[in-house]
Amino acid sequence: MSAAIETPGFIASAVRTDAPPAIVLDKVNKWFGALHVLRDVDLQVAAGERVVVCGPSGSGKSTMIRCINRLETHQEGHILVDGIELSDDVRALGAIRREVGMVFQSFNLFPHLSVLENCTLAPIWVRKMPKKDAEELAMEYLTRVKIPEQAKKYPGQLSGGQQQRVAIARALCMKPKIMLFDEPTSALDPEMIKEVLDTMVMLAGTGMTMIVVTHEMGFARTVADRVVFMDRGEVVEVGTPTQVFNDPKTDRLKLFLSQIL
Ligand code: ADP
Ligand code: MG
């Protein structure tokens, strides 16, 4: 499962202890109807920190990160993003959406827009950037994710790995402070996983604050400052990749590791 990435050496930690935390979850609870999907979730992510979240299917990983940019709402507890508490305040929501980029398992590109237009849409309409500047910025990020030659194509003409790199470039065009990734490689064929992981390793090297839901242990060991293991809506263990993967404390984590290794 984790063989796809060649460890390019240790990526130096970019954790900033001088800055306030980028993300705070304080006793967060969420229900879908009667289903209790987040149970007293506490988590602090420092500015510049890279956190990998793993856990069995249905354990609440997607719901947790979707609550961070308010694609879902929590019912109890507090979530702060860059010091702003998530609430129904529309202005606060707008500020947070601009600061937080998200990449999904299924890419979610606009199929009727070219790669370039996918990347310039939000900068033009949300950031009010002149079209020419937005295009320059988009080309810069498409170059960073190594697909500038695909700019004029449509998503359907690209491989899955290329589409996911467009999704990453598109998110970066909004100049987010925080990037959330929800299983970005799990819909990809094995030969395309590496190119997407390499892009994320590159991003980690820029000091970006990142939360990445993934079971790619090679990636986690290369870039994660901490790994969070969730099960049944709870944060069960948190530690360095070595602590979590080599020295699990709970039976739940031991069982999970035995299933994915
Ligand atoms: P994971 O990402 O760890 O697989 P999810 O956060 O997607 O877990 O789901 C957690 C639980 O919440 C699961 O039981 C799932 O079926 C349920 N769930 C997720 N989204 C919804 C929704 N929109 N409505 C109802 N239940 C949901
Ligand atoms: Mg999920």
Provide CB contacts within 8 A for 7, sequence distance 6+.
Answer: 218, 221, 222
Of ligand 1's listed atoms, the one at least distance from the Cα of 66 is 6
What is residue 205's predicted lDDT score, i.e. its pLDDT? Answer: 92
Q: Which residues surround ligand 2, an ion (CB under 5 A)?
A: 62
Q: Which of 3-12, 65-74, 147-156, 170-179 has the lowest mean pLDDT?
A: 3-12
Mean pLDDT, range 83-100, rounded to an integer: 85
Tokens of 90: 């529309």
Distance 63 CA to ligand 1 centre (A): 6
Tokens representing residue 110 in the block: 């606009």
Return the number of other C-beta atoms located less than 10 Å from residue 21's C-beta.
18
Q: Where are the beta strands (DSSP E) in 96-158?
A: 100-103
Token digits of residue 224: 């994660």
Residue 83 near ligand 1, beta carbon < 6 Å: no
Please report the pLDDT score of residue 4 as a whole number. Answer: 45
| Ligand 1 atom index nearest CA of 213 | 2
User: If you average pLDDT over residues 190-212, what whole number do you get?
Assistant: 95
pLDDT of residue 91: 79
Helix, strand, coil share (%) of the chain residues, nearest 5: 40, 25, 40
CB 119 within 8 A of CB 141: yes
Distance (Å, whole) CA 89 – CA 79: 13
pLDDT at 9: 54
pLDDT band at 137 (very low <50, low <70, confident <90, very high): very high
Res. 6: pLDDT tops 70: no
Does the pLDDT at position 159 exceed 80? yes
Distance 58 CA to ligand 2 centre (A): 7
Mean pLDDT of 139-145: 97
- Provide the token pair at 191: 């030969």
pLDDT greater than 60 at residue 1:
no
pLDDT for residue 236? 98
State what percent of residues in the chain have pLDDT above 70.
96
Read off the pLDDT of residues 35-61 as tens digits, 9 standing for 90 and up: 999 999 999 999 999 999 999 999 999
Q: What is the average pLDDT value for the chain, to the nearest integer?
A: 93
Give the list of residues 6+ apart from residue 216 with CB closer than 8 angstroms, or none. 1, 2, 4, 5, 185, 193, 197
| 246 CA from centroid of ligand 2 (Å) | 24
The residue written with tokens 């299917």 in the block is 57
How many alpha carbons lie under 13 Å from residue 76 in its C-beta half-sphere? 12
Distance 180 CA to ligand 2 centre (A): 12
The phi and psi torsions of 51 (rounded to 5 degrees) equal -115, 130
Q: Please name the amino acid found at residue 128.
A: K
At 136 the pLDDT is 98
Q: Which ligand is nearest to the CA of 37?
A: 1
In the chain, DSSP finds a helix count (H) and a strand count (E) of: 9, 10
**How far, in whole angstroms, is CA 145 from its chain's centroid?**
16
- Asked if pLDDT for residue 249 goes beyond 70, the answer is yes
Between residues 180 and 2, which one has the greater pLDDT?
180
Average pLDDT over residues 164-174: 97
Q: Residue 207: what are its φ and ψ, rounded to 5°?
A: 90, 10
CB of residue 62 inside a 6 A radius of ligand 1: yes
65 Cα–ligand 1 center, Å: 12
Q: Is the CB of 32 under 6 A from ligand 1?
A: yes
Cα–Cα distance, 9 to 23 (Å, whole number): 27
Regarding the beta carbon of 58 and ligand 1, being less than 6 Å apart is answered yes
The verdict on ipTM greater than 0.90 is yes
